Copies of this chain bind each other. A is one copy, B any other.
Amino acid sequence: MAEFALDPILEQDTVAIGELDLCSVRLMNDARFPWAILVPRRVGVAELFELTRGDRALMIEEIALVSETISQGTGSTKVNVAALGNKVRQLHVHVIGRTAGDAAWPKPVWGSGDPVRYAKGAAEAAAAGLAKALQVGVKRNVP
C-alpha cells in the first residue's frame, strides 16, 4: 500500500503547522494573508467525493476548526474555504482569513498579485502560533 506523501509543489509553497486526525495542516508562505492548507493524508485522492464518508466528516470538522481559529486569532472578517486543484491534483483545502482592504479584497486571492514571502523565520513563527492555537504539534505522531 502506497504511503501518503505531500505533493512537492505544496511542500515547496508551505511550511508545516501540525497534524490533525485526517489532515496535515500547512501555512502558505504568503505574508499577505493568514492562509492555511489542509491536506488529507490519503493516497490518490483528488476530490472530496473520493474520501470515505467518515473521512469527509473529519474533513469538514477540521476545516471548521482551522477556519474558526484563523477567524478568532487574526480578526479576519471572512474566511474563504476552497478545494480547487486545477494545478495540483492532490486534494488540498485552502482556508484563508480575509478582511476588507486586504491585498486582494473583495476578490479571491488566487491570481490577485504575486505572493509576498515571509521574512526569514517569520513563516515558521506564524505556523507555530497557529499550531499553538490549534493545539497541534508538528511532531505529533501520525497514524
Contact = CB atoms under 8 A, between A and B. Distances in A.
Given A47-B79, A56-B64, 12 more contacts: A46-B78, A48-B79, A48-B81, A49-B65, A59-B60, A80-B83, A81-B84, A82-B108, A86-B105, A86-B106, A108-B110, A111-B112
B64 A49 contact: yes
20 contacts: A47-B67, A47-B68, A47-B71, A47-B78, A48-B67, A51-B64, A53-B61, A56-B64, A57-B60, A60-B60, A78-B85, A80-B83, A80-B84, A81-B82, A82-B84, A82-B108, A84-B108, A86-B107, A107-B110, A111-B112
A87 interface: yes
A63 interface: yes
A41 interface: no
Contacts of A105: 86
A26 interface: no
Contacts of A78: 46-47, 84-86, 89
- Looking at A83, A86, A105, the one whose CB has the most chain B CB atoms below 10 A away is A86
A71 B68 CA distance: 30
A58 to B, nearest CB: 10
